[in-house]
């Protein structure tokens, strides 16, 4: 059997991610799920990150949109913050996470998941260059 044949089909992989995302991840500060349960291609997802302690993000709830095209997981999903946020890897006008400024998307590997992206973004909020940036008013959206 070739390597290609042993790979998990896209939809099985996404079903696995859906099950994990709906349970809440780790300490419950990161979660994600599908936007439309009837979308058989499982493309459109919403992620949530609760801002980490001891940062300007603490206690804030950030919503993100993830879009898994037909080439996912070979290629990363597009990721965009819906809730306004100021971070060095996020376009301040559109909320799009800039792959060139967010290493996980630049160096995407097939075994990375949406959970990994959300956890890494949360970690990025604690980085010295992001943890104290003045944030847009709470409850504002892109």
Residue 6 is predicted with a pLDDT of 64
Q: How many CB atoms lie within 10 A of CB 2?
A: 6
SS3 call for 65: strand
Residue 22 sits at φ, ψ, to 5 deg, of: -75, -20
**Backbone torsions φ then ψ of 51, nearest 5 degrees:** -55, 140
Each residue's pLDDT tens digit, 46-97: 999 999 999 999 999 999 999 999 999 999 999 999 999 999 999 999 999 9
- What's the whole-number mean pLDDT along residues 29-48? 93
Which pLDDT does position 2 carry in this prediction?
41
pLDDT for 9 beyond 90: no
Q: What confidence tens digit (pLDDT) does each residue in 119-142 have?
A: 999 999 999 999 999 999 999 999
- Higher-pLDDT residue of 25 and 75 is 75
Does residue 51 contact residue 57 with C-beta atoms inside 8 Å?
A: yes
User: Would you kindly state where each structural domain of the chain is located, as residue ranges?
Assistant: 3-125
Confidence of residue 26 (pLDDT cuts 50, 70, 90): confident
Cβ neighbours around 127 below 10 Å, total? 12
Partners of 25 in the β-ladder: 30
Q: Would you place residue 37 in the very low, low, confident or very high pLDDT band (cuts 50, 70, 90)?
A: confident
CATH architecture type of domain 3-125: Roll (3.10)
């Amino acid at each position: 059997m070739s390597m290609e044949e042993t790979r998990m089909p896209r939809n099985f992989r996404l079903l696995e991610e859906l099950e994990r995302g709906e349970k809440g991840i780790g300490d419950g500060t990161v979660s994600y799920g599908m936007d439309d349960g009837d979308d058989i291609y499982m493309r459109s997802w919403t992620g949530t990150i609760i801002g980490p302690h001891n940062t300007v993000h603490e206690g804030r709830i950030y919503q993100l949109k993830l879009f898994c095209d037909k080439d996912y997981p070979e290629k990363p999903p597009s990721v965009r913050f819906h809730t306004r946020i100021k971070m060095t890897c996020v376009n301040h006008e559109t909320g799009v996470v800039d792959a060139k400024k967010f290493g996980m998307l630049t160096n995407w590997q097939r075994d990375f998941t949406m959970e990994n992206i959300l956890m890494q973004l949360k970690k990025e909020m604690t980085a010295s260059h992001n943890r104290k940036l003045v944030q847009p008013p709470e409850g504002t959206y892109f």
